[in-house]
Amino acid sequence: MTTPQEHLMTWLRDAYAMERQQAIESTEKQISRMQNYPELRQWVEDHVAASERQADRLKECIHRHGGDTSTLKGLAAKVMGNVQAITGFFADDEVVKTAIADYAFKHYEIGCYTSLKTAADACGDMTTSQVCEEIVREEQSLADRVAGLVPSLTRRFVEREAAGEKAAT
Ligand SMILES: [Fe+2]
């Protein structure tokens, strides 16, 4: 049997690992390839900064429950593997596919933090519940912003491609 408290701890650790991984991989993978798409680059930078702040807040929640964050990796690696699978298949239109995958992934996170907030409520952990609520709002705002970028990115991509310029970057 797994107690609600144990589930909360596992999910907090999963979320922490997910944020850390996103911050690192998004920086490495995306920013160097967006010279002609400064608004997406700015979004990725904001998303990295937000992920780092979220990881810090989750870490505090984990520590309050007496847990530690030194040995985490597993699930986040799998989750990000899926996002990379979406973007990696389409080398030519990577910028467009990246924005779409980022939009999708923000909604995955909204689902995670909605669930985590409910688990925190069930354990009477109102601090974690409030942190999750804040994070859901941040993810929603990032999702809305990247969704708003998709049309202009796509237009620029097809125009650059049609003009014989190197469209992908
Ligand atoms: Fe996040």
Contact predicate 128/61, CB 8 Å: yes
pLDDT digits (tens, 9 = 90+) for 62-78: 999 998 887 665 555 55
Residue 15's pLDDT is what? Answer: 94
Q: How many A from CA of 9 to the centre of ligand 1? A: 17
Which class in CATH covers the domain with range 4-162? mainly alpha
- In order of 26, 27, 45, 150, the CA distances from 87 in angstroms are 12, 15, 18, 14
DSSP-derived 3-state class of residue 92: coil
pLDDT digits (tens, 9 = 90+) for 23-58: 877 777 666 678 888 999 899 999 999 999 999 999
Amino acid 60 reads E
Output b/e per residue, 99-126; b: 16+ Cβ within 10 A.
bbbbbebbeebbebbeebbebbeebebe
For residue 90, what are its two tokens? Answer: 């389409």
Q: How many A from CA of 5 to the centre of ligand 1? A: 22
Residue 73's pLDDT is what? Answer: 57
- Cα–Cα distance for residue pair 46/136, rounded to 1 Å: 15
Q: How many A from CA of 56 to the centre of ligand 1? A: 11
* Share above pLDDT 90 across residues of the chain, in percent, rounded to a whole number: 58
Where is average pLDDT lowest: 44-48, 109-113, 119-123?
44-48
**pLDDT at position 169 over 60:** no
Q: Which residues, including other chains, have CB under 8 Å from residue 118's CB and lie 6 or more apart?
A: none
**pLDDT at position 166 over 80:** no
- In order of 12, 19, 58, 129, 141, the CA distances from 126 in angstroms are 14, 21, 13, 5, 23
Residue 74's pLDDT is what? Answer: 52
Q: How many A from CA of 26 to the centre of ligand 1? A: 11
Q: How many A from CA of 44 to the centre of ligand 1? A: 12
Contact predicate 15/64, CB 8 Å: no
